[in-house]
Structure 1
Amino acid sequence: MNLTGVFVPLITPFDAEGDVALDALEALAERVLRDGASGLVALGTTGEPGSLTAAEQQAVVETVARVCQAREVTLVVGGNGGDARLSLVPPFVRPGEAGVLEYFRQLESPVPLVVYHVPYRTGQSLSAETLRKIAELPNVAGIKYAAGGIDDETMLFLSGELPDDFAVLGGDDPFIAPMLALGAHGGILASAHLETAKFVAMTDAWRTGDLTTGRRLGRELVGLSKALFAEPNPTVIKAVLHARGEIPTPGVRLPLLAAKMVEQMPVS
């Protein structure tokens, strides 16, 4: 299983009747992989899983899995299925760092876990020491690290010793370049629905030591990422993909509302 490079957490497109547009989902998955993405994420936050029925979730996973299997790339799923399971740090209850560690120690899964650390959504911060302990768990293959920026704990975590088979994937799109500069293995990047090839080239540049290219593309792509997250994700991304003709509608489901800033976004 490869957990390096750019992973695109796919949106779930809807048709004019509000149903999941599986044909458009499959075409989008094919396109981002053609553009160089290392793998895909289904039913991540960007895919609006909380607004999908169980049958719709299954259909989404089956569709994306078919594409990944044909291309022999890694599929991470925010639930059951796939090569790895994206598993959120327990939200809302704030169990403390020891509780989070024990939760992942005992979490049963038929596939390896990619722990999703996003304290501004979960309300639970984790120290570098706890993150390293999570990395050492035998059922954990990687982490989607989205701490909202680069702070002291980020520096301590990435500068410390981690298992050779453990992957750090940046999850805050505007900060992916500095994360890669600090040693991250790649990213799970919603912004990479657009300019996929450039995100791939930037990631490859940092990982191969091409600092000039990495810095240039990092400066170029940070503005795109900030614009795409100017309204709740994935509303702006869907609006742009619709404007480009890649999905049938820009529709989202409640509690999300359609983006209002579409006219300011690049469509070509």
Structure 2
Amino acid sequence: MTPSGLYVPLITPFAPDGSVALDALERLAQDVLGAGASGVVALGTTGEPSSLSPAERSAVLDVLAGVCGSTGGQLIVGANDRATLNAVPASATAALTLVPPFVRPGDEGVVAHLSALAGASPVPLVIYHVPYRTAQPLTPGTVRRLAALPSVAGMKLAVGGIDADTIALLADPPDGFAILGGDDIVISPLLALGAQGGILASAHLATASFARLTRSWEPALGHRLARLSAALFAEPNPTVLKAVLHEQGRIPTADVRLPLLPAAKESMRAALDEAGRI
């Protein structure tokens, strides 16, 4: 299956005692799938996976696999190495796998690394390309080499804007390879250029509107959603998003785990105001 449409990378809600609020997580998944999302992402960066224990990560994955199994929603699982890929259920649509960060192995190293992971993965890979975080840019030619791998289904493209390489890639996309926008603020122009959907944390809010945008690009709607995304990303993700969801009564606390700190109330209010304008 080639991924397309809207995928919501779910937060990990925390209870007042600091544990993972699995019941709230289940409701969030049901909410976004019921509002038109194609699927959810478990253990993506929005879910603060590095702060979760192995038992917590397993519980999150079990809950979201259960919701997707009962609703027909697609499940993408954040997994960046062989050990985490081995934990991805075979029922998942794909694993979201980061271009190797920090070490800057070059294009050849990236292709070799992701080829090895794709060959070992129980599900296809969606490669997460976010060079302003990994410090490893990729040329369109390298992306096409990755797209040619039989176990690579697509890419979450988050290069921080619309650059010449993005335009070149979307002007001639590889066959059967999903290009999903990953920079929420510029998802509208990415869709206009030909992206097949998005993996968008902002879509915890106004989910139906984001789903509509991925199905049928509408400039005015895209502009309104971009303002919402800008407000939600005014502080490190998912701090503002969690504050808004807590204010709406959808999660029991706005808590995040270190190294993140809670968002300022002013940021939460600004995002709520934008959500009210959608």
Per the normalisation by structure 1, the TM-score is 0.95
Matched residues, number: 260
* Other structure's SS at 1:150 match: coil
Runs of 4 or more, structure 1, over 3 Å off, are none
Q: Which runs of 5+ in 2 are unaligned?
A: 80-86
Task: Provide the secondary structure at the position in 1 that maps to 2:216.
Answer: helix
**1:166-192, CA deviations, whole angstroms, 9 ceiling, x for partnerless residues?**
111000001101111111110000000
SS at match of 2:29: helix
Question: Residue type of the partner of 2:3?
Answer: L
- Tell me if structure 1 keeps the 8 A contact 2:2–2:153: no
Q: Could you tell me how far 1:265 is from its partner in structure 2?
A: 2.5
Give the superposition deviation at 1:50: 0.2
Shift of 1:31: 0.4
- The equivalent residue for 1:264 is 270
- Could you list the per-position Cα deviations for residues 52-92 of structure 1 after superposition, in whole angstroms to 9, with x for gaps in the alignment? 00000000000011000111121000023232111000000
Paired position in structure 2 for 1:37: 37
Report the CA distance between 1:2 and its aligned residue.
5.1
Contact 1:202 1:217 in 2 (8 A): yes
For structure 1, the residue ranges without an aligned partner over 5 or more in a row are 207-213
Please tell me whether residue 175 in structure 1 is matched to residue 186 in structure 2.
yes
Q: Is the CA contact 1:2–1:73 (under 8 Å) kept in the aligned structure 2?
A: no
Q: Distance in 2 between matches of 1:170 and 1:130?
A: 18
The alignment's C-alpha RMSD in Å is 1.0
In 1: Cα distance, 2:228 partner to 2:144 partner? 32
| Structure 1 residue identity aligned to 2:270 | Q
Counterpart CA distance in 1 for 2:51 and 2:203 is 23
Q: Which residues in structure 2 correspond to 1:44-123 (within 5 Å)?
A: 44-79=44-79, 80-81=87-88, 82-107=92-117, 108-123=120-135
CA shift digits 1:132-181 (9 cap, x unpaired): 11111111001000000000000111112412x21110000011011111
> In the aligned structure 2, how far is the partner of 1:2 from the partner of 1:15?
36
Q: Is the 8 A contact 2:2 2:178 kept in 1?
A: no
Aligned to 1:227: 231
For 1:158, what is the secondary structure of its paired residue? helix
Identity of aligned residues (%): 58
Matched, 1:127 2:131: no
Q: Pairwise mapping of residues 180-259 of structure 1 onto structure 2 (< 5 A)?
A: 180-206=191-217, 214-259=218-263
